[in-house]
Amino acid sequence: MKRHLISAADLSRDDALLILDTADELAQMADRPIRKLPTLRGRTVVNLFYEDSTRTRISFEAAAKRLSADVINFSAKGSSVAKGESLKDTALTLEAMGADAVVIRHPASGAPHRLAGWVRGSVVNAGDGTHEHPTQALLDAFTMRRRLGRLEGLRVTIVGDVLHSRVARSNVLLLQTLGADVTLVAPPTLLPVAVSSWPCEVSYDLSAVLPKTDVVMMLRVQAERMNAAYFPTVREYSRRYGLDGARMALLPEHAIVMHPGPMNRGVEIAAEVADSPRSTIVEQVANGVSVRMAVLYLLLGGSDPAGDPGGDPAGIERPVSDLAAALTAEVTR
Amino acid sequence: MHALHPAGAEPAAGSAGSASAKTSPGASSPGPSAASPGTGGSPAGAGQQRSEPLADGKTVLGPDEISRALTRVAHEILERTNGGSDVVLLGIPTRGVPLARRLAARLTQVEGRPAPAGSLDITMYRDDLRLRPARTLGHTAVPASGIDGRTVILVDDVLYSGRTIRAALDALGDLGRPRAVQLAVLVDRGHRELPIRADYVGKNLPTSQREVVQVLLTETDGEDAVVLGLSPAGGPAVTEAGR
């Protein structure tokens, strides 16, 4: 496996299956009296969150703590970022504090990729702008495999705001790696321009696709990113692309309904669907902890360059000490 | 026994398998200084998955001898646990698991009541995790009866440094509180680095640290054998120096 998890495309089929199998073993731990493993004792995981998040941040924090890692939470609000500190300077600060892994969520697509070039620890992308959210895709795949027993040949339909969805992009890439067939259903205005180059089918008619679907994944309508008129009214969107009880009845008997959360009940998903036994929404949250434990274990659990006292790759520490020297010189002058 | 190697030539080794005749606990000596900290990594000296017999290895135990040793160990367990009514056998992956199942089958056969067997993965509790890339996890399956208040017998193929067993004791502590914990191994090859000893030993096998003991089982490798050979890289200290 690579040292960082930035994109679902970084994962080979073997890597992805290793993560899912490891998560399977770790999921057992939820039934134990002591839900803690000593594996990452003495390692530091920093949660660097530039964007609001409840479940992802808590999920990563719980995962790191169950592996006995030390967790430092950093949110942009109330930190030096509010004073205008750049991502790079924040990264160098974290580096100086000895972070073994940085879990980053950032509103700008590509921020984790830049960060990976600045820090020596592992970087885990917890969502960057409208780009990717690989651990969400992994936990979705994990949930599908647990419920339906396989991923190969599974027909997955992803419905809604694909344009702004990092979840959709990561899921398409990962599910394609794992051998599932993905169909995207969305209004034409909410599909990316280059969607034809994605490894999936595209449809505009939800009711026609549902009977041939094993998994339907509803995406949140991201109101905070809706800065143009993507559809006429919420009611019209809901009528054409929302999942209500009548539409759910079109699904085959075994099919499941997923949602990455947070939900807009009554918009993309009706309350009766969200609360039905077919919905895996709560399960997805529980599985998220197991999958993130697996990712942290596989990135940090073995020998790793960050723990090697001998190496100083890319001279990362030098700029910091140079800066300190310059500052001292400034003061003495 | 058709073993010809000098190390295993101790005459009474096979029959002197009771704990009292076994090696004294490593507490008396702090451990061989030549051993690197990670030596206990893979006690069998074999990979996680199916193994081919060592090319230049000598077979120390054949299928019949393994079977006899397990039968004897099963009887010893029954003797020392008063019929084994509260015994739970937990095998340590990979090859401890089929051994635990075989012992359980013998206990059931002799006493006529089922003996629960499961597996206990210790990967997350190892002390040498940072010496190698992240390892694949094994499977932990605790029998439905649980382990609280029971006599847990840990089962492994080879007892070497004792580090695997230390990890297993830690793992067990997170699963519950057994009344007692005992250890059964097919082969004890000496060179303990921790104050740990086995309660039941299939065969004591004096070895040098440059040697590799390989246990092959039908369930994982297609045949039953214990093979003694030279470490291909010239000694564990060298193979572990990859860091």
Contact B125 A21 (CB under 8 A): no
| Residue B129 near residue A68 (C-beta atoms within 8 A) | no
In Å, how far are A22, A65, A74, B240 from A298, measured between CA atoms?
Answer: 9, 15, 23, 20
Minimum CA–CA partner of A40 in chain B? B124
Among A37, A153, A323, residue whose Cα is nearest residue B126:
A37
Of B125, B130, B131, the CB nearest to A38: B125
> What is the per-residue pLDDT for A324?
42
Domain regions of chain A by residue span: 8-132+286-304, 134-280
Question: With respect to CATH, is domain A134-280 assigned 3.40.50.1370?
Answer: yes
Chain B residues with CB within 8 Å of chain A CB: 121, 124-125, 129-140, 170, 173-176, 243
Domain B64-208 fold is Rossmann fold (3.40.50)
> What is the per-residue pLDDT for B11?
35
Question: Which token pair is B206?
Answer: 């004096």
DSSP secondary structure of B134-203: PPPP---B--TT-STTSEEEEEEEEESSSHHHHHHHHHHHHH---SEEEEEEEEE----SSS---SEEEE
The residue assigned the tokens 């019209």 is A236
Within 8 A of A298 by CB-CB distance, chain B residues are: 134
State chain B's mean pLDDT as an integer. Answer: 80
Contact B174 A33 (CB under 8 A): yes
Of B129, B138, B176, the CB nearest to A301: B129
Chain B closest CA to A213's CA: distance in Å? 33
In Å, how far are A253, B107, B167 from A38, measured between CA atoms?
Answer: 42, 34, 10
| Residue A94 near residue A47 (C-beta atoms within 8 A) | no
CATH superfamily of A8-132+286-304: Aspartate/ornithine carbamoyltransferase (3.40.50.1370)
> What is the per-residue pLDDT for A95?
87
> What is the per-residue pLDDT for A254?
96
For residue A245, count CB atoms less than 10 angstroms from its CB and return exposed for 0-12, middle for 13-18, buried for 19 or more: exposed
CA distance linking residue A84 with residue A318, whole number of Å: 23
Chain A closest CA to B237's CA: distance in Å? 17
The predicted model gives B106-123 an average pLDDT of 94
- How many angstroms from the chain centroid is the CA of residue B203? 11
Contact B136 A39 (CB under 8 A): no
Minimum CA–CA partner of B146 in chain A? A32
Minimum CA–CA partner of A19 in chain B? B136
Within 8 A of B135 by CB-CB distance, chain A residues are: 301-302
pLDDT at B23 > cutoff 80? no
Of A32, A33, A302, the CB nearest to B130: A302
Of B130, B136, B175, the CB nearest to A307: B130
Chain A closest CA to B242's CA: distance in Å? 10
> What is the per-residue pLDDT for B104?
96
What ranges make up the beta strands (E) of A221-314? 256-258
How large is the angle between the packed helices A281-300 and A134-148, nearest 10 degrees?
A: 120
Over residues B183-241, the pLDDT tens digits come to 999 999 999 999 999 999 999 999 999 999 999 999 999 999 999 998 766 444 333 33
- Quick check: do A8-132+286-304 and A134-280 share a fold? yes
Q: How many interchain CB pairs under 8 A, A with B? A: 54
Within 8 A of A28 by CB-CB distance, chain B residues are: 140
> What is the per-residue pLDDT for B213?
95
Contact A28 B130 (CB under 8 A): no
CA distance linking residue A35 with residue B105, whole number of Å: 32
Contact B132 A32 (CB under 8 A): no
CA distance linking residue B106 with residue B77, whole number of Å: 11
pLDDT at B26 > cutoff 50? no
Contact B134 A297 (CB under 8 A): yes
The 8-class DSSP code of residue A129 comes to T
The predicted model gives B5-26 an average pLDDT of 34
Contact A303 B132 (CB under 8 A): yes
The residue assigned the tokens 């790696």 is A177
CA distance linking residue B216 with residue B2, whole number of Å: 17
Contact A38 B129 (CB under 8 A): no
Selected residue with higher pLDDT from B135 and B76: B76
Over residues B157-187, the pLDDT tens digits come to 999 999 999 999 999 999 999 999 999 999 9
Tell me the pLDDT band of B49, cut-offs 50, 70 and 90. Answer: low
H helix or E strand, kind and range, residue A74: strand A70-75
pLDDT at B1 > cutoff 90? no
Domain regions of chain B by residue span: 64-208
Contact A25 B125 (CB under 8 A): no
Chain A closest CA to B152's CA: distance in Å? 17
Active site amino acids of A: 55-56, 83, 105, 133
Chain A closest CA to B241's CA: distance in Å? 13
pLDDT in tens, chain A (333 residues): 789 999 999 999 999 999 999 999 999 888 888 889 999 999 999 999 999 888 999 999 999 999 999 999 988 877 777 778 899 998 898 888 889 999 999 999 999 999 999 999 999 999 999 999 999 999 999 999 999 999 999 999 999 999 999 999 999 999 999 999 999 999 999 999 999 999 999 999 999 999 999 999 999 988 777 766 788 888 999 999 999 999 999 999 999 999 998 999 999 999 999 999 999 999 999 999 999 999 999 999 987 544 443 333 333 333 334 444 444 444 433
- Which SS3 state, helix, strand or coil, does residue A303 take? coil
Contact B124 A37 (CB under 8 A): yes
> What is the per-residue pLDDT for A225?
74
Residue of B128, B130, B139 to mutate for A, most A C-beta atoms under 10 A: B130
> What is the per-residue pLDDT for A83?
78
Chain A closest CA to B192's CA: distance in Å? 23
> Which range, B14-18, B31-35, B66-70, is most confident?
B66-70
